[in-house]
Amino acid sequence: MARSNLLIHLDTIHQDDLIYAERDMNFAQKVGLCFLLYGDNHSDATYILQKLLTMTRSDFPQSDLLIKYAKSRPETWRRHLVEALCIVGARKVLRKLGFCWQELKIHYLPHVAGITLHVHPLLKSLYRMCEELSVAQSGRLVLDVGEKVARQQAGDPLRFYDPMYLEIFLLDWLTRRCIQLGDINVIGSNVQLLIEHLKFNDLKEQAKLLIDTIISNAPEPDLAEIDAMTIKQETESDNQQSSSCSTAAAPSKASALCRINALRLTRENAGIALIINQQEFHRNVSKDLKKFLSPKPLKIRIGTDVDKKRLTEVFSSMGYNVEAYDNVDHLDIVQRIRSACDRSLLRDSLVVCILSHGFEEAVYGANSIALKITDIENVLCSYETLYNKPKLLVIQACQEKPDQKEEQNQLGLPFKIDVTTQSPSQHINLVRAMSTVSGFPALRHTHMGSWFIQSLCDAIECHSASEHIADILMIVTNEVSEKRGQNDESMVPNVQSIFRQHVYFPPRL
């Protein structure tokens, strides 16, 4: 009965009431309301964006936006308007229009946040996201996503700078089609830029809201078609001739339905791939550093340039800005890593590869002074610019234990870096990929490069289009552990992952 009374009362709203309704709203409510009402049509969004920008520059922003909306949609404006007023919480306006808030709340604000009756569901979820973010979080989103939008498209930038009204920036990105709502069932939607930013910045509830909205509003997938596609592609793959890079298997039903929860790095903003390539070593250090020198002179690492060249080619092909340095002293290693961290605020990820000699839990600089690998990890995780972003630390170095005489002589102690992390959560999305398990040497061919690095590059080239990073590293572990040298040498890589979701490398050229 209450539902019927509500629908009857909706028809009593007159366009003349809208003048007074608009006067009872503050500017923030007007921005949110216009976003919800106009955002799902490209020409409307363009019009309302310009209108709102004009209003932000006025000391007395009066307008007739609601009357224009009503006239443009004579059959449906009442239901859309009342639902939008409920979403923005304009209780004073609704009360003056004669509605009961509790009745409206039951009708228009269900427990499932991404469900709507008339307003586009993604607009509702995006508005909720705007309300939940702090001004600082909104500012970071505007900076990050705005930078990506500027690189993707030419045209005049949005000359508005107040992240308090995040909906205005969202309208701008909608008009540029950098984010898309799709139809009322969100088919054709694309808000991946926003989801990636939210995940990178540990705004998992907001990212989940957008993902759940897409899933809950989409029509049920035809699982029979998915099965048929899977069987067909698997059959074709089985019939193909084997090669060094076999065709990736088709995704299962589960992966096809859950793929949206994965984190996909972009070519345009992949990040920095820092390569520290140690080939030659010296012992020319100050007197106070001599206690950190390796017990014996370190031999030249012939073949490491092959690894450096291959890593450069592979990561460049995925859009990474590769920065390779040869024969870097221990403190300069730290400085290079810190510099890369500083410059990663607007980047999706960071890769650090160190190719050197080492011993258990340590890796050498070119001046024969070692750093603790855990200290290097702490440097990567201590930067807010990389908080919750994928960080891949690749170490190609022996991990043998120093003998007792060396320990007694107090030589070769790792140099301690003054760095700490304040919370375990800072280590989220860090992966350490070591060429060997603790206590054993890492094998390197003088002409073909190291087993581990070459296998890693092969696996990325063959599987990055279909497999996430953790599975690629598992493939590397399997391949390397099965290799045997001329004298039956063997090696087992050691991978430690703190990824909490599937992360995919950017697409390769």
Among 34, 86, 341, 398, which one carries the catalytic annotation? 398
Determine phi and psi for 372, rounding to 5 degrees.
-70, 135
Contacts with 328 (C-beta within 8 Å, 6 or more apart), sequence order = 276, 278, 336, 365, 366
Amino acid identity, position 419: V
Q: Which fold has domain 268-504?
A: Rossmann fold (3.40.50)
Spatial CA neighbour of 444 closest among 361, 373, 370, 356: 356
Of 80, 120, 357, 463, which one is the catalytic site residue?
A: 357
d(CA 100, CA 223): 44
Q: Does residue 52 register a pLDDT over 80?
A: yes
Residue 32 near residue 167 (C-beta atoms within 8 A): yes
Work out the percent of the chain whose per-residue pLDDT is above 90.
39
**pLDDT value for 302:** 94
Q: What share of the chain is helix, strand, coil (3-state, %, to 5)?
A: 50, 10, 40
> What counts of helices (H) and strands (E) characterise the chain?
21, 13
DSSP 8-state symbol, 133: S
Residue given tokens 């299962």 in the structure block: 252
pLDDT reported for residue 239: 47
What's the pLDDT score for residue 137? 92
List, in order, residues 6 or more apart from 463 with CB less than 8 Å away: 248, 471, 472, 475
| pTM over 0.75, yes/no | no
Q: Is it the case that residue 407 has pLDDT exceeding 70?
A: no
User: Is 398 an active-site residue?
Assistant: yes
* DSSP codes, 409-473: TT-SPPBPP----S-GGGGTTEEEEESS-TTS---EETTTEEHHHHHHHHHHHHHTTTS-HHHHH
170-197 pLDDT tens trace:
999 998 888 888 888 888 888 888 988 8
CA distance 37 to 44: 9
CB atoms within 10 A of CB 240: 9
130 a catalytic residue:
no
Whether pLDDT at 364 is above 70: yes
Is the pLDDT confidence value at 447 over 50? yes
Q: CB-based contacts of 84: which residues, under 8 Å, 6+ apart?
A: 33, 36, 37, 119
- Pairing state between β 430-434 and 494-497: antiparallel
Give DSSP secondary structure letters for 439-453: TS---EETTTEEHHH
pLDDT in tens, 141-153: 998 888 888 876 6
205 Cα distance to chain centroid: 14
309 falls in which pLDDT band (50, 70, 90)?
very high
As a whole number of angstroms, the distance between CA 364 and CA 483 comes to 26
Using the structure block, give the residue that is written with the tokens 């590397």: 476
Q: How much is the pLDDT for 190?
A: 86
Is 318 strand, coil or helix? coil
- Between 461 and 94, where is the model more confident? 461
3-state secondary structure of 487: coil
The pLDDT value recorded for residue 247 is 41
Residue 43 tokens, joined: 């020409």
Domain residue limits, the chain? 2-217, 268-504
Whether pLDDT at 235 is above 60: no
